[in-house]
A = this chain, B = another copy of it.
Amino acid sequence: MSSELDLAPWVKLEELIEAGEPAAVLAEIDVLGPRDSARAISRLSAEGRAQILTLLEPEKAADLLEELPDAQATDLVRHLAPEVAADILSEMSSDESADVLGELDEEQLEEILQEMDREAAEDARRLVSYPADVAGGLMITELLAFPERATTGEVIDDLRRHADEYAHYSIQYSYVVDQERKLLGVLPLRDLLMTPALTPIHSIMIKNPLFVCDTDSLESLTEFFDERDFLGVPVLDAERRLVGVLRRRDFREALGDKAQQDYLRSQGIVEEELRSMPLWLRSKRRLSWLSANILLNLCGATVIAFYQDTLAQVIALAVFLPIISDMSGCSGNQAVAVSMRELSLGLIKPLDLVHVWLKEASVGIINGLVLGILIAVVALAYEGNLFFGLVVGAALALNTLLAVSMGGIIPLAMRRLRVDPALASGPLLTTITDMCGFFLILSLASLFMPYLAGGE
C-alpha cells in the first residue's frame, strides 16, 4: 500500500488537478514553496500544465505565475484561452506581465490584449514594445503621479482613498507631473506628512530630479546605479513624459539574468529553453543555431579539402587536425570570456581594441610557445620525424597567438557593430581559427614535404 507521502509532488499535483480541487492545489503549492512548485509543475503532463491556471482564481493564478521563472510562466500562459489569460495577467504587476506577454507570439499577444481593459492593454502594449534589457523593459508602470496644482491635503486624501490599490506599489516616492505628464519633481512621501494640508505640492517637491530614459541600456543603467544609492528612479520617454519607475532590485535582477543569458547564448541556447517546452520547439530553436554552425564548419573543412593531396602524403597530419582546431578554439574562448567579463565590469570599452590586443598577444606568445612545444614533442614521438614535430608545433603556436588575439578583440568589435557578443563571438572565432589553423599546418607541411615524406 502506498500512502500519499510516497508520491512525487508532481504526481500528487496532477491528481489534484484532475480531481478539480483548487483549494487543495493551492495548499500543495504552498507547502512546496516556489522552487519545488516550479519543479513539480515542469513535470506535469501537458494537460496538467494547461489546466492548473484555469483551475485557480485569477488572483491566485497571478501570484503563482509571479513566483515561477519567466520562461515557465510564459509556457503556462501559452496554453490558456485569451480571456482567461487576460484576467490573470491583469492581476500581475506590470513588469511581470510584460515579461510573459513579450515571449508570446504576435497573434496570441493580440488576442490577449483585446480581452484586457483598454488602459491595461495600452500599458502592456507599450511595455512589450521595449527590448527586455533597456529601462523601459525593466520598469514598472505602477507609480503615483500628481498634477502640479494639487495640494498636500489632496494628495494625502487620494492616498487614503486608494490605499488598497496602492498597497502593491513598493515605492517610497511619488512624482509631480504637468498636464502632458512631463516630470516636474519628486515628492518624498514623508515630507507630505509634515506640511500643512493647503500647501501646493510644487512648493515642496524636489525640482529637476534625476531620471533615466526608457531606451537606456543595461550598461548605462549600471553606471547610473553604481554611482547613486537610489532605490528607484523615474523613467522618461523621448518627450520627457513620465512612463514608469525603475527599481534597483529589478535592475539588479536583470543584471543577474543577463549573465545567465550570456552563458546560455555562448553555448548556443539562443532563446530560453526549459525541458517542459514542446519537443518541436526545443529542437527547432537548437537546430537554427546548429545549422548556422555547420555551415561555418564547412568553411574550415574546405581548407582541408584543398590540401587533400598533402594529407594523403603524410596521413599522420589527420591525427593532429582536430587537436589544432579544438585547442585554438579553447585558447580563443578564454580570451573571449575575459573580454566579456571586462566589458561587463566596465574595465574596457569597445574602442579599446589596441589595448586589449596588446594584452592578449603577450599571453598568446607565451601560451602558444608552451602548447606548441608540448604538441611538437608528442608529434615527434608519434611520427619519429623531427620536421613533423616542428610543423605541428609551429602551426599550433602561431594559431594560438592568432586565436588569443582574435578572441580578445572579437567581443569588442561585435559590441561596436551592435551584434550580441555572447552569441556571435564563439562561432566567428572558431571559424577563423579553424580555417587559419588548418591552413597553417597543411601549408607548412606542403612546404616541408620533402623532409616529412622522407622521414619514415
Interface residues of A (CB under 8 A from B): 33-36, 38-39, 42-43, 67, 69, 72, 222-223, 226-227, 249, 252-253, 255-256, 259-260, 262-264, 266-269, 272-276, 279, 282-283, 286-287, 289-291, 293-294, 297-298, 300-301, 304-305, 308, 311-312, 315-323, 325-327, 329-331, 333-334, 336-338, 340-342, 344-349, 355-356, 359-360, 362-363, 366-367, 370-371, 374-375, 378, 382, 430, 434, 438
Assess the B297–A323 pair: CB atoms within 8 A. Answer: yes
Residue of B35, B255, B316, B318 near A321 (CB, 8 A) is B318
State whether A222 and B304 are in contact (beta carbons under 8 Å apart), knowing that A275-B342, A337-B267 are contacts in the complex. no
Q: Are A294 and B371 in contact (CB under 8 A)?
A: yes
Docked pose: A36 CA to B352 CA in angstroms: 13
Tell me the minimal C-beta distance from A354 to chain B in angstroms: 12
User: Which residues of the partner chain B approach A382 to less than 8 Å between Cβ atoms?
Assistant: 305
Contact A294 B323 (CB under 8 A): yes
Taking the closest CB of chain B, its distance from the CB of A400, in whole angstroms, is: 9
Chain B residues with CB below 8 A from A356, complex form: 275
State whether A275 and B370 are in contact (beta carbons under 8 Å apart), knowing that A226-B34, A382-B305 are contacts in the complex: no
Assembly stoichiometry (copies): 2
Looking across the interface, which residue of chain B has its beta carbon closest to that of A313? B315
B323 close to A315 (CB less than 8 A): no
Q: A291-B374, A322-B301, A371-B290 are in contact. Are A348 and B39 (CB under 8 A)?
A: yes
Complex contact B316–A315 (CB within 8 A):
no
- Bound-complex Cα distance A312 to B321 (A): 15
Inter-chain contact A322/B308, CB cutoff 8 Å = no
* Closest residue on chain B to residue A349 by CB atoms: B39
Kindly identify which residue among B252, B311, B323 contacts A318, using a CB–CB cutoff of 8 Å: B311
Kindly identify which residue among B34, B222, B272 contacts A227, using a CB–CB cutoff of 8 Å.
B34
Known: A260-B344, A269-B338. 6 other contacts (CB 8 A): A267-B333, A268-B334, A268-B337, A275-B355, A286-B331, A297-B327
Q: Find chain B residues with CB under 8 A from A264 CB.
A: 337-338, 341
Please measure, in the bound complex, the distance between the C-alpha atom of A360 and the C-alpha atom of B359, giving whole angstroms. 41
The 5 closest A-B CB pairs, nearest first, are A256-B256, A267-B337, A35-B346, A259-B259, A263-B263
Q: Taking the nearest CB of chain B, how far is it from the CB of A103, in angstroms?
A: 15
Distance in angstroms from A261 CB to nearest chain B CB is: 9
Measured between alpha carbons, how far is A337 from B273 in the docked complex, in Å? 10
Most buried by B among A72, A289, A359: A359
Chain B residue contacts of A329, Cβ below 8 A? 326
- How far apart sit A305 and B382, CA to CA, in the bound complex (Å)? 9
Could you say which residues of chain B place their CB within 8 Å of the CB of A321? 318, 321-322
With a cutoff of 8 Å between Cβ atoms, the chain B residues found around residue A362 in the complex are: 279
| Contact residues in B for A274 (Cβ distance below 8 Å) | 338, 341-342, 345, 347
Chain B residues with CB under 8 A of A39: 346-349
